[in-house]
Structure 1
Amino acid sequence: MSNFDEAAAFASAHEIPWPRDPAADPSRWGVHHGDPPPFNRLRGPVHVRGGVSGVIRVRGAEVFSWGEPDRADQTYSVAKTYLALLAGMAQARGLLVVGERVSDRLPGIGFDSDHNRAITWEHLLTQTSEWQGECFGMPDQVEHFRRVSHDPKPPEGKKGERRALRAPGTYWEYNDVRINQLSLALLHLFRQPLPEVFLENVLRPLGGGTDFRWEGYEDSWVEIDGRRMQSVPGGTHWGGGVSISARDQARIGQLLLDGGVHQGREIIPREWVKRMRTPCETARFYGFLTWLNVDGRMFADASRASGFMFGAGGHTVWIEPEREAVVVVRWLDGAHSAGFVQLVSRALAG
């Protein structure tokens, strides 16, 4: 019997209470229902999911898995971290400088107003941009006052109510419309569909990519250099987003644990990976589209060096440097995530 059996059994006994088939009971599936109308609808494809599954790697090797670790399921906001990896690749290619204003490099795509002109790539990557506008018909206001599980701020208003915007860089808000605007900006930098860039430059070099897809909305198409391309969201809030296996999620987690290097090849610059897990000044629990456990508030049983990718529906990728471990769990009810982390921590400690 493996030391991780208890954690896997615990996770499997506490599956997220969403139907596995989105069509079976649509009102109990997803997170879009909490949005103000007419924005409380799906705009991209969704598909049937599997049950609870997971993968655990220690010192670079997979030591445990359960469920269907090779099944590609939609992964919600875990995809945000993938945008941060693409941004690091863009900086390495000279396509962006993290501290520069987006409007200086990409005029005409929504960063030209007096308010938005001051927004830098760093603001977008730390969710402190306060970007104002519409991205494919979705206004930033839809996500005003949004609450997510690990946001320590007390409730300040009702979701979707307009609030006064702050100066870019001074206020943290989890806002999927702004994330989608970042994705659109990255598409204009690469001038190639982001799913192609990610598959060719990250997943395939890691030995993954089977059944991977990253889908956009029905109306999120743009034309660049005469080619029609779909801009993709940084999550599955309104459908679409990344479908990926737990094993591939673990491969990406291992890449971050190893400082962006795989088999001696630097896939993402080491300095960029370091920046991803550096707390931002406005929200010390957040880096570059990565959650941080710097004060132990997120999970008391994880080290203070831990980083996390989270997605609605119970998706967690936990990078635990002190134990040289990567832990992936999918479709776990978030109310029981602390119990799962505790059991895995105990098993890792031996």
Structure 2
Amino acid sequence: MKPLFQISLLVVLMVNNPLAAQKMYFPERNETWKAAEKGQFKYDASQLSKAVDYANANEYSGSRDLRIAILDGFKQEPFHKILGPTKKRGGPAGMIMKNGYVLASWGDTKRVDMTFSVTKSFLSTVAGLAEDEGLIVDTKDKVGDYIWDGTFDGEHNSKITWEHLLQQNSDWSGELWGGKDWADRPPREGGLDDWKFRKLNEPGTVMEYNDVRVNVLAYSLTHVWRKPVPMILKEKVMDPIGATTTWRWFGYDHAWTEVDGIQMKSVTGGGHSGAGLFISTEDMARFGMLFLNNGQWKDQRLISEDWIKKATAPSVPNVNYGYMWWLNQNGPRHWEGVPEHVFYAAGFGGNFIVVDQKSGLVIVTRWLEPSKIGEFVKQVYEAF
């Protein structure tokens, strides 16, 4: 019989982490992913099949030639052009898992495709690892205290913290790799002069989705780590979780910076000018499982629970956005019929990693028409 204090401790652990009371399955590298056995979980298989049919029937409407899709999708941006690698995409694909076991899968889950702004959630994780290891003391620190090469000089940019960059509310002003901050996703109204000479928002007050500023974060992390960001992700996350050797993380063709006398590629946090993370559905699912289990893979702690809590906390100017993770809070991007504690990574063209820590669900879907994601996830939940 267990001592009373051990039983009490177990209860506390189960309350703090509902998955602690459930058996989690973590696939080995190159292992065929295990499907759930009949009767292992309680759900409506026919309803789940309807959700999969819905995903297959609502393929992203853009061209499978992603150069064409990118140029068309961002044609309103002045000076926009392809600056890094692209790849023709496959068709719809995805996986639905509970406690790591596959309930449903569709399409080619091993195919490597561009994943666009899903990359941001990987980039955020590299920042989290830097804080976990003390390279960044606190995300509320000013970035200019770490990066002193002029990137964060000036009355406005000197106020910017790591948190501002991670929450995309810095309004950093400048140019990186030829990309001007004001030319990235400009307002529909106004013209070049209006955008160039706009009044800057106080850091932390207004969220604006902006890849130039995300790339400034990637550049800054490259200098903090003194290594290329993909190397950090590989060593500290992707290898430990058993990801394949097929994923790649690119920067723009000309995005080179020198650290300790070594030329390093500074990667992008998205793919709307090419580059970003190219990855398979199954490797995306492994990454989602790491966050499902609060930063732990099997018995190995890879990311601190504190970081995941910070990364999935609502920002002040946008209740639906944390540290480069979208949150299903009751706000403008809320998915009806889906729990508010759900968080997710999202990318152009309908790429998503959806995580529900309380129910043990991870959903990965590729090339789903973006406007259909809320309905698709709702249909998945209706199966439970």
1: CA distance, partners of 2:271 / 2:167: 19
1:17 aligns with 2:61: yes
Which of 76, 97, 111 is the equivalent residue of 1:34? Answer: 76
Q: Secondary structure at the match of 2:218?
A: helix
Give the corresponding residue for 2:302.
267
8 Å Cα contact 2:116-2:276 kept in structure 1: yes
Q: Secondary structure at the match of 1:8?
A: helix
Give the corresponding residue for 1:137.
178
2: CA distance, partners of 1:273 / 1:172: 20
Which of 78, 81, 85 is the equivalent residue of 1:45? Answer: 85
TM-score normalised according to structure 2 size? 0.83
2: CA distance, partners of 1:290 / 1:245: 19
Q: CA deviation at 1:217?
A: 0.7
- Superposition map of 1:304-319 within 5 A: 304-319=340-355
8 Å Cα contact 1:77-1:310 kept in structure 2: yes
Q: CA deviation at 1:47?
A: 0.9
8 Å Cα contact 2:255-2:265 kept in structure 1: yes
2: CA distance, partners of 1:271 / 1:28: 36
Q: Secondary structure at the match of 1:198?
A: helix
Q: CA deviation at 1:74?
A: 0.3
8 Å Cα contact 1:303-1:322 kept in structure 2: no
Q: CA deviation at 1:143?
A: 2.4
Q: CA deviation at 1:298?
A: 1.9
Report the residue type matching 1:300 in the other structure: E
Percent same amino acid at aligned positions? Answer: 37
Report the residue type matching 2:195 in the other structure: E
Q: CA deviation at 1:27?
A: 6.0
Give the corresponding residue for 2:327.
292
Q: Secondary structure at the match of 1:231?
A: strand
Q: CA deviation at 1:194?
A: 0.9
Q: Secondary structure at the match of 2:277?
A: strand
8 Å Cα contact 1:91-1:98 kept in structure 2: yes
Report the residue type matching 1:161 in the other structure: W
1:83 aligns with 2:123: yes
Counterparts in 2 of 1:210 and 1:5: CA distance versus 1, 3 Å: farther
Give the corresponding residue for 2:34.
none
Counterparts in 2 of 1:53 and 1:29: CA distance versus 1, 3 Å: farther
1:71 aligns with 2:106: no
1: CA distance, partners of 2:70 / 2:206: 32
TM-score normalised according to structure 1 size? 0.91
For structure 2, the residue ranges without an aligned partner over 5 or more in a row are 1-44
2: CA distance, partners of 1:281 / 1:156: 26
Report the residue type matching 1:291 in the other structure: W
1:173-223 deviation digits (Å, cap 9, x = unpaired) = 111110000000000011111111111211111111331000111110111
Q: CA deviation at 1:157?
A: 5.9
1:112 aligns with 2:153: yes
Give the corresponding residue for 2:375.
339
Counterparts in 2 of 1:166 and 1:61: CA distance versus 1, 3 Å: same
1: CA distance, partners of 2:260 / 2:246: 28
Q: Secondary structure at the match of 1:220?
A: strand
Report the residue type matching 1:207 in the other structure: G
- Superposition map of 1:171-210 within 5 A: 171-210=206-245
1: CA distance, partners of 2:51 / 2:179: 40
2: CA distance, partners of 1:86 / 1:4: 34
- Shifted more, 85-94 versus 334-343: the winner is 334-343
Q: Which has the larger radius of gyration?
A: 2
Q: CA deviation at 1:300?
A: 0.7
Report the residue type matching 2:157 in the other structure: N
2: CA distance, partners of 1:4 / 1:126: 34
8 Å Cα contact 1:53-1:69 kept in structure 2: yes
Q: Secondary structure at the match of 1:79?
A: helix
Q: CA deviation at 1:322?
A: 3.4
Give the corresponding residue for 1:102.
143
Report the residue type matching 2:113 in the other structure: D
Aligned residues: 336
Q: Secondary structure at the match of 1:316?
A: strand
Q: CA deviation at 1:323?
A: 2.0
